[in-house]
Amino acid sequence: MSNAIDDYLRHVTAHAARLAGPGRAELEAVAEACLQAVLRDRAVWLMGTGHGQCLALELHHRAGTPACFLPMASPVLAFAEGAAMETALERQAALAPALVERHDWHEGDVLIAISSSGTTPLTVEVARLAKVRGLVVVALGSPACAGTRPERVSLFALADHVLDNGAPEGDAVVPLGDDLRVGAFSSVGGAMILQLLAVRLAVLLREQGVAPPVWRASALPGADAHNDRLAAVWRGRNRSL
């Protein structure tokens, strides 16, 4: 059996190569959509359930990340009340309006909807409502997974842009034999995409002569005062500050 760590790292390297090559154009397009939103005093929302919500929080109040990335976070959608509860709730599309009304959406905002399968009912419905409300919808997940479930409504079919997290069906990428795989990839692949998006947006803002509203690590001198100023600007829209 080949070295499992090497197997996993090969997937990481291949994913990075896709983002630097054929996936670069879509990443640039999403960065441009985020730029246009921020220049219009709009925001970039991130929504997911379960481990998708962990990714929705990846850019929240994070050192080196623009403050315009706002999570649509809820404790019950991130295992706070247990995995069984979270799984049951993410399957309830009817909960989407109540979740949306907790947040200050505006026409021209961007929504990054995160679902590796692309078929999570609650996430798909939030994305559908975003389209109705005039938001730009970005799907972050694995189109390869959705292709195996044609009977389900696909997040990728309704999105304006699709960012491929590189995960296979079932998420795990390292085979151990006996139909067993380990090494989930959607979080690593998704986090890489989100960090690249944050970096690219900051650069685009600088090119427009706009100072990127970037959080600083709280351990750095002067960071608290800097971050307090950013929080004062964004607290009205970001419920998680």
- What is the DSSP-derived secondary structure letter of residue 75? G
- With CA atoms as reference, report the closest residue to 60 among 79, 80, 78: 78
Chain centroid to CA 198: 11
pLDDT score recorded for residue 144? 86
Task: Name the token pair of 230.
Answer: 């950013």
Q: Within 10 Å of residue 25's Cβ, how many Cβ atoms?
A: 9
Q: Within 10 Å of residue 143's Cβ, how many Cβ atoms?
A: 16
Q: Report residue 173: phi and psi, to 5°.
A: -120, -10
47-106 pLDDT, tens digit per residue, is 999 999 999 999 999 999 999 999 999 988 988 888 999 999 999 999 999 999 999 999
Question: What three-state secondary structure class fits 69?
Answer: strand
pLDDT score recorded for residue 152? 77
* Domains within the chain, CATH numbers bracketed: 4-234 (3.40.50.10490)
- The DSSP string of 224-239 is HHHHHHHHHHHTTT-T
pLDDT score recorded for residue 81? 87
pTM over 0.85: yes
